[in-house]
Structure 1
Amino acid sequence: MTLVHGNVSIPVSLIIEYELRTPILESAGQVVRRLELEELYGTQDGTSKLLFWAFADDFDAFEDALASDGTVESHTRLESFTDRSLYGVTLTDEAAAKLTYPLAAEYNVAIIDITLTDEIVVSARVPSREALLEYRKRCLEKGVGFRVRRIYRENEAEAETETERYGLTEHQREALQTALDSGYFDVPRKATLSEIADELGISDQALSARLRRGQANLLWQTIAGETS
Structure 2
Amino acid sequence: MGTIVDLSLELEALPLGQALASTDGLELELEPVVPIGPRTCPFFWLFDRSSQTRRHDRIATFERRVEQTADIDDLVRVGNVENGVLYRVGWCGDGVAFVDAVVDADGAILEATGTSTEWTVRLRFGDSDRIATFQQYCREHGIPIELVRVVDLEHERSAYPATLTSGQAEALMTASRMGYFERPRETTLAEVATSLEVSPQAAGGRIRRGVSNLVADALPIDDDGTSHRSGRNNY
TM-score range, shorter chain: 0.5 to 0.7
CA distance in 1, matches of 2:108, 2:69: 28
Q: Is the 8 A contact 2:7 2:122 kept in 1?
A: yes
Deviation of 1:53 after TM superposition, in Å, equals 0.9
Give 1:35-114 correspondences, 5 Å limit. Answer: 35-38=28-31, 47-56=39-48, 57=55, 58-91=58-91, 93=92, 96-114=94-112
CA distance in 1, matches of 2:67, 2:43: 16
How many residue pairs match? The answer is 146
CA RMSD, aligned part only?
A: 3.1
CA distance in 2, matches of 1:42, 1:125: 12
Give 1:9-20 correspondences, 5 Å limit. Answer: 12-20=1-9
Q: Is the 8 A contact 1:98 1:142 kept in 2?
A: no
CA distance in 1, matches of 2:35, 2:133: 24
Deviation of 1:85 after TM superposition, in Å, equals 0.6
Higher strand share: 1
In the alignment, which residue of structure 1 is the partner of 2:198?
A: none
Give 1:87-166 correspondences, 5 Å limit. Answer: 87-91=87-91, 93=92, 96-117=94-115, 118-156=117-155, 157=159
Ranked by relative contact order (alpha carbons within 8 Å, sequence separation 6 or more), the top structure is 2
CA distance in 2, matches of 1:99, 1:48: 12
**Alpha-carbon spacing, 1:146–1:155, altered in 2? closer, same or farther (3 Å):** same
CA distance in 1, matches of 2:94, 2:84: 25
Deviation of 1:154 after TM superposition, in Å, equals 2.4
Q: Is the 8 A contact 2:39 2:90 kept in 1?
A: yes
| Letter aligned with residue 125 of structure 2 | V
Runs of at least 5 residues in structure 1 that lack an aligned partner in the other structure:
1-11, 161-228
CA distance in 1, matches of 2:9, 2:132: 14
| Letter aligned with residue 104 of structure 1 | V
* Cα displacement string for residues 75-116 of structure 1 (whole angstroms, at most 9, x for unaligned residues): 12111111111112232x5x6422444443443323221111
Q: Is the 8 A contact 2:31 2:44 kept in 1?
A: yes
Q: What TM-score does the superposition give when structure 2 sets the normalisation length?
A: 0.52
Deviation of 1:62 after TM superposition, in Å, equals 1.8
* Cα displacement string for residues 140-182 of structure 1 (whole angstroms, at most 9, x for unaligned residues): 323322221111232331669xxxxxxxxxxxxxxxxxxxxxx
Deviation of 1:65 after TM superposition, in Å, equals 2.2
| Percent identity for Structure 1 against Structure 2 | 20
| Letter aligned with residue 72 of structure 1 | I
Q: Secondary structure at the match of 2:15?
A: coil
CA distance in 2, matches of 1:49, 1:108: 18
Deviation of 1:42 after TM superposition, in Å, equals 8.3
Runs of at least 5 residues in structure 2 that lack an aligned partner in the other structure:
49-54, 161-165, 168-235
